[in-house]
A and B are shown apart, each in its own frame.
Chain A
């Protein structure tokens, strides 16, 4: 018999708030963090997009991460650890220090072998890779060039060489733990090591759908009895010293172009959208749990996870298939898995990136499958796009919307591209069933269906 799966805790680190309370409050106030891209990036390329959504300064102590861990992990894994700790605390697990190590904990009363970790990331430790790659490429070349500049170059050449040397700036060391920092599964492993979790441990690399696919597979693992508790979600850290990661998305033409008014530039589903707002990153972790297991623990239930499905376009690495046939098939499979019809869905947290291609196709599919009455918003209208973390953050928003019977507006939506019921004003709504969907480079489509728990 399939088991019912509920969300009993969550944690989040985002560009508009650290911790679920601050994050959700800022969502409902439609806050957004937008800033000019670091000036240093302009030394390396002519970048078209001029803004991004930076993370706030976060105290590693708040994230529960010791100095030794911070120095040996990619920032993406550190964000995941912070979100995981909050999620465990909110789920009501007692976090007990290990007898032999102050950096390792266990969850009191929980069977560690019956807990699984399912996290998603789009690019893993790309930050760490690039940092070490730069050192690898430039350290010796830069030293040789510097020696030449100092000992033999003419004054005129010296000036030119100093400029080149500045461009070749690199970090102070080639890190001895670079492999375990950059490997995509590091975040899932770090969480399980820190909390002594010995059940299945899997990382999902499905670009922008990573978080959604991770939560979906965690749901299946709990539902099918493979584990009793699943630590699920997504994390991403998209910053690097030279703007390399940003440039990859910028050169592909996916990032917001019209940046004259930074606060209004990011506008998913608006007729005047020009691309997505690049996020520095973030993480969200959701504790999924067998309902009976949760009730025995006396856990507070946020929402029920009722269904999941995924399909693949087999069309293009970079764009949605016209018509969205595979997305529609995915949605109908997710609804069937949840045992609900399209008309039962009250709220959709859309992928809603703000790119021309995505929003047009997505709006068309929503109209075709769900009609015009379902409420629709885009959390990316607040946060920008945090790639592998986005799906998990958006499932969290969907769960909180069902819990509180309200949701955030679709920021900067002045001229909707289609006549849908976009959330454009705050208020109380009757939300019983919600759906969060993600589409990814490569052609991956995934959605998780949530139900208000009562």
Chain B
């Protein structure tokens, strides 16, 4: 697993939640453990687009439940060309 991607995802989640990234577990559920509602989830993906310079339309996010799902999603996205 790309540890840099993981750290940047954790930082983005912490930025949305305005909390320290320590203690955010990879198996944490965004909705059930981290209290993400739909607004926060949209905000997170805008941040991740900015962070990783990849397009992340809402339809691509189906099936994302945990923090690890996001990390895996980003790793897949990084195979695509960067935004210009």
B interface SS class: helix
Residues 24-66 of chain A: 1 if any B CB is under 8 Å from the residue's CB, otherwise 0? 0000000000000000000000000000000000000000000
Which of B46, B57, B58, B83 is within 8 Å of A71, CB to CB?
B46
Q: Which residue of chain B has its CB nearest to the CB of A173?
A: B55
Pair A176/B49 contact, Cβ less than 8 Å: no
Which chain B residues (18-55) contact chain A, with CB distance < 8 Å?
18, 42-43, 46-47, 49-50, 55
Which stretch, A98-106, A216-224, A308-316, A322-330, touches the partner chain B?
A98-106
- Min distance, Cβ A75 to any Cβ of chain B, angstroms: 15
Which of B43, B56, B83 is within 8 Å of A68, CB to CB?
B43
- Min distance, Cβ A127 to any Cβ of chain B, angstroms: 17
Neighbouring A residues of B16 by C-beta, 8 Å? 68
Q: How far is the CA of A318 from the CA of B61 in the complex (A)?
A: 48
**Number of A interface residues, CB 8 Å?**
14
- Min distance, Cβ A71 to any Cβ of chain B, angstroms: 5
Neighbouring A residues of B47 by C-beta, 8 Å? 67-68, 71
A172 in the interface (beta carbon within 8 A): yes
- Min distance, Cβ B21 to any Cβ of chain A, angstroms: 14
Neighbouring B residues of A148 by C-beta, 8 Å? none
Q: How far is the CA of A100 from the CA of B15 in the complex (A)?
A: 13
- Min distance, Cβ B56 to any Cβ of chain A, angstroms: 8
Which chain A residues (276-328) contact chain B, with CB distance < 8 Å?
none
Pair A176/B42 contact, Cβ less than 8 Å: yes
Chain A CB count within 10 A is highest, among B16, B18, B57, for B18
| Chain B interface residues (CB < 8 Å from chain A) | 15-16, 18, 42-43, 46-47, 49-50, 55-58, 83
5 closest A-B pairs (Cβ-Cβ)?
A176-B42, A172-B55, A71-B46, A172-B83, A101-B18
